[in-house]
Amino acid sequence: MTDDDNWYSDDAATLGDRLVAARSAAGLDQVELATQLGVKVTTLDAWENDWKEPRANRLQMLTGLLGVSLRWLLTGVGEGPENPEDGTEISNDVNDMLVEMRRLRAQIAKSSVKLGELEKRLRKSLTE
């Protein structure tokens, strides 16, 4: 499977996206998972929305509770849930829209990194 075929690859999804997918595949809601982890629901929500990242010990707990590998949770490669299009019956139109949304998200993420690099260069040149 190529990265283009992997719904959860680093280019197509964030750690939060993969966390939501794994939680859903495990049949858990946020309250249940947060309780099992010993964290507040707001903390789990922040992880799932990529506002914050879990510490290493919580990542390890997540992999055990959700039945995914640490590598998959961090990168989308390895043991994790199947791609949604592989196990879900959806129309071609909806699938096309989801694929386009995924591509746009990847482009936005790359643009965000580039914007950050340009800001650093600008700040550096202003202080010289």
pLDDT of residue 16: 87
Amino acid symbol at 90: I
CATH tag, 1-88: 1.10.260.40
pLDDT of residue 34: 94
Residues near 98 by beta carbon (within 8 Å), at least 6 away in sequence: 84, 85, 90
pLDDT of residue 3: 43
| Vertex 19: Cα angle to 24 and 4 (nearest 5) | 100
Domain range list for the chain: 1-88, 89-128
Amino acid symbol at 29: D
pLDDT of residue 30: 92
Contact indicator for 41, 34 with CB cutoff of 8 Å: yes
The pTM (predicted TM-score) of the whole model is 0.61
Tokens of 110: 């790359």
The continuous run of DSSP H or E covering 94 comes out as: helix 92-127
pLDDT of residue 92: 67
Q: What are the pLDDT tens digits along the chain (128 aa)?
A: 344 456 565 566 788 888 988 898 888 899 999 999 999 999 999 998 888 989 999 999 999 999 998 898 888 887 877 765 544 455 667 667 766 776 777 777 778 878 888 999 999 888 88
